[in-house]
Structure 1
């Protein structure tokens, strides 16, 4: 059985409905962890590991809680009384963690979000919550960046959105080439940020100042 959910894409295109398999039971999830422990070469019945499947299932509920959240709900309340403010709003250094959808290991970093308001603004904490909604899923950094920008664009209809995400990927530092300290930067621009390179420069300057 499959259920439908909305998901943006890395090209910044409109959201589309994607079929997702219905979740297994908690017991099935815990059994899968036991299988992985045994495949790794350890005994899932030894004292230190006997409760690990239950702990992992509980942890996954937290680490991937974004599947149960909707970014539109976080951005639903718009404040119109802003005293005529029309300049850039920037929230920078929003910490996040996510998991690479290719290897299911973490990538950890910061997101920086700016927009030019049109009809109103949202509470600053809501932008951080949007980052959490999308980061707490299996992701690529490119898709995460686009989804954050798309959600703000769709909800607020601002004059422009700018998103910069920088992160270190454990799938690169812990395995494969095993290069620690390497950062990956991705950006997404809409509206005035996309049309005017000077706005991009202003955004990057404010982020780095």
Structure 2
């Protein structure tokens, strides 16, 4: 489902009038179109299948040492993401860190940021975003466990209300073997290393 650009343009014009502005003044004339362009990008994940990037896994049991399976986690740190908070329609963004304990199948590492991008490109709350990423990975991969840590800055916190410009929000979602705090301790410790 694509964003209805014409409708967004009309609504942004109306919003500008509602806040006491003139949508026809030079500085605002193109604003409704620019907002429609931005919203088309920000909300491109609405209706998209977040599991699609995970469809092509690789069997590690077919390699030169088929009896050697990974004993530890595969971790991708620092996946940059941005989203729009569904409460105030203000942006939030930060880094996602994903770890999973593979079975006999692994996925290309480039697939993990694609899952994050699809799910973040919807009106969201950070708590649900982490859970959705973990659910998608757990359901789509041959994984014994999944851990998703999100660290994000929310404009609704930094720019309005309490105006806490230095704050960030950290959420954790875990599945399978990594749902146990002791099991995920090593991975959490690795997040802090550069």
For the criterion TM > 0.5, the same-fold answer is yes
Matched residue of 1:129: which SS? helix
In the alignment, which residue of structure 2 is the partner of 1:144? 129
- The root-mean-square deviation of aligned C-alpha atoms, in Å, is 1.6
Distance 1:23 1:61 in 2: 7
Q: Does 1:98 align with 2:83?
A: yes
> Are the aligned partners of 2:5 and 2:37 in contact in 1 as well (CA < 8 Å)?
no
Question: What secondary structure, in the 3-state scheme, does the structure 2 residue paired with 1:27 have?
Answer: helix
What is the aligned partner in structure 2 of residue 26 from structure 1?
5
Q: Which residue of 1 aligns with 2:144?
A: 159
User: What are the Cα deviations for residues 132-169 of structure 1, in whole angstroms up to 9, with x where unaligned?
Assistant: 01111110000000000000000013100011001111
Match of 2:176 in 1: 191
- For residues 3 and 105 of structure 2, the distance between their equivalents in structure 1, rounded to whole angstroms, comes to 42
Cα deviation, residue 198, structure 1: 2.5
Residue 56 of structure 1 corresponds to 35
Partner of 2:18: 39
- SS of 2:143 mapped into structure 1: coil
Q: TM-score, normalised by structure 2?
A: 0.91
CA contact (8 A) 1:119 1:156 kept: no
**Secondary structure of the equivalent of 1:112?**
strand
Unpaired stretches in structure 1, ≥5 consecutive residues: 1-21
Post-superposition CA distance 1:67-118 (Å, at most 9, x none): 1432111110000036533221000011111111000001111000000001
Q: CA deviation at 1:49?
A: 1.3
Paired with 1:70 and 1:95, the residues of 2 have a C-alpha distance of 20
- CA 1:24/1:107 → structure 2, altered by over 3 Å: closer, same or farther? closer
> What stretches of structure 1 move > 3 A for 4+ residues in a row?
22-25
Tell me, in whole angstroms, the C-alpha distance in 2 between the residues paired with 1:68 and 1:191. 27
1:65 counterpart = 2:44 = yes
* Residues 1:132 and 2:111 aligned together: no
Give distance in 2, aligned partners of 1:24 and 1:89.
36
Unaligned ranges ≥5, structure 2: none
Q: Does 1:201 align with 2:185?
A: yes
TM-score by length of 1: 0.85
**Number of positions where the alignment pairs a residue of Structure 1 with one of Structure 2:** 187
